[in-house]
Amino acid sequence: MVGRVEEVGVAEPVVVASGVRKAFRNPQGGAPVIAVDDVHFTANAGEVTAITGPSGSGKSTLLQILAGLDRPDQGTVRIADQEITGLGDRALSKLRRRRLGFVFQSFNLIGSLSARDNIALPIELDGRDVDEERLEELAASLGLTDRLDHFPGQLSGGQQQRVAVARALLIDPDVVFADEPTGALDPDAAIRLTDLLVALAHKLGQAVVVVSHDPTVAERSDRVYRMSSGLLTEVMPDRLARGARS
C-alpha cells in the first residue's frame, strides 16, 4: 500500500488534545458527572485512530470536543496546529466547513436533498463552487455513480453511509471524525466501510478518528484508545498485538 505516511516517513500529529476535562450537571443533584477526565490524545495524518469503550464511557463526548462541536471545561485541543478551544462560533463553523469531515452513525443526510446535493453541501455552505469532476470521481470510488440523483429515502443503509463518507471527504479535510459509522450497518457492510475508511486514510493522508465499539473497527485501526469512565488509555491495536504474540 502506498500512502502519504510512507512518503513522509514520520506520522504527523493532526489532532492533539491535552488535559481535556468535561463534566455535566447531575440531573438528580449531587456531584457532577465527569464524562471526560484529563484526557491526552493524538491522531496522526494518514492513520485511522479508533476510540473504543463501553456505552456511557464518554467516548462520544470526547469526539464532540475533539471535533469542535462542544467545548471542554479544561484543557486544549489543537487541529493542525490551530488551537480550537478558544474559537468562537463563526470560526468554529468555518473550521468545520473547510477542514473537518463528519460521518455519523445514523447517516444524518438531509432528506430533502439528493445524494449529489448532500455530498456537495459543505462546499455550498462555504459559498464555493463544487468541483463536479472530483465529486463524480469520489462517488465512483465509493460505488455511488448511479445513485447520485437518488434521495436518502431511496438508498440502502450502506449506500447512505457511503454518501456520508463522500460528503466528509469532498472538502479534502485534515481530519474525518466518525461516530459509530458502522452502528447502523450489517456486518458485511460494516467491514466494507471500515476497510474503505482505512484505505482512504492511507491513500489520501487524512487523519480519521473513529469512535466505535465495533471490534472490526479496532482491529483494522492504526492506533487504538480505550475509554472507560471518562479516562482514556492507548492500547495496542489487535493486529499488532497478534503480530507481537506471533
Residue 47 and residue 206 in contact, taking contact as beta carbons nearer than 8 Å? no
Q: Order of strands, edge to edge, in the sheet holding 82-83?
A: 33-44, 13-24, 74-79, 82-83
CB of 168 to other proteins, least distance (A): 9
Sign of CA dihedral 233, 213, 75, 33: negative
Question: Angle, nearest 10°, between helix axes 157-170 and 132-141?
Answer: 140
Contact segment (CB under 8 A) with other proteins among 114-122, 130-138, 139-147, 198-206 equals: 114-122
Contact segment (CB under 8 A) with other proteins among 6-14, 102-110, 216-224, 225-233 equals: 102-110
CB of 242 to other proteins, least distance (A): 32
CB of 69 to other proteins, least distance (A): 4
Q: Which is nearer to other proteins, 124 or 234 (CB)?
A: 124
Contact status: 105 vs other proteins (CB under 8 A): yes
Residue 102 and residue 127 in contact, taking contact as beta carbons nearer than 8 Å? no
Q: Which is nearer to other proteins, 91 or 240 (CB)?
A: 91
The C-alpha atoms of residue 16 and residue 190 are separated, in whole angstroms, by 28
Contact status: 87 vs other proteins (CB under 8 A): no
Among 40, 104, 199, 226, binds other proteins (CB under 8 A): 104
The C-alpha atoms of residue 104 and residue 86 are separated, in whole angstroms, by 25
Among 24, 82, 125, 140, binds other proteins (CB under 8 A): 125
In the window 156-195, what residues touch other proteins (CB under 8 A)? 167, 179, 184
Contact segment (CB under 8 A) with other proteins among 13-21, 44-52, 124-132, 193-201 equals: 124-132
Find, among 160, 162, 152, the residue nearest to 197 by Cα: 162
Among 36, 79, 84, 121, binds other proteins (CB under 8 A): 121
Residue 168 and residue 98 in contact, taking contact as beta carbons nearer than 8 Å? no
CB of 122 to other proteins, least distance (A): 5
What's the CA dihedral at 214, 215, 218, 221 to 10 degrees?
-90
Among 106, 156, 229, 233, binds other proteins (CB under 8 A): 106
- Residue 118, amino acid: N
Helix (H, G, I), strand (E, B) or coil at 48: strand
Among 8, 54, 94, 241, binds other proteins (CB under 8 A): 94
In the window 217-246, what residues touch other proteins (CB under 8 A)? none
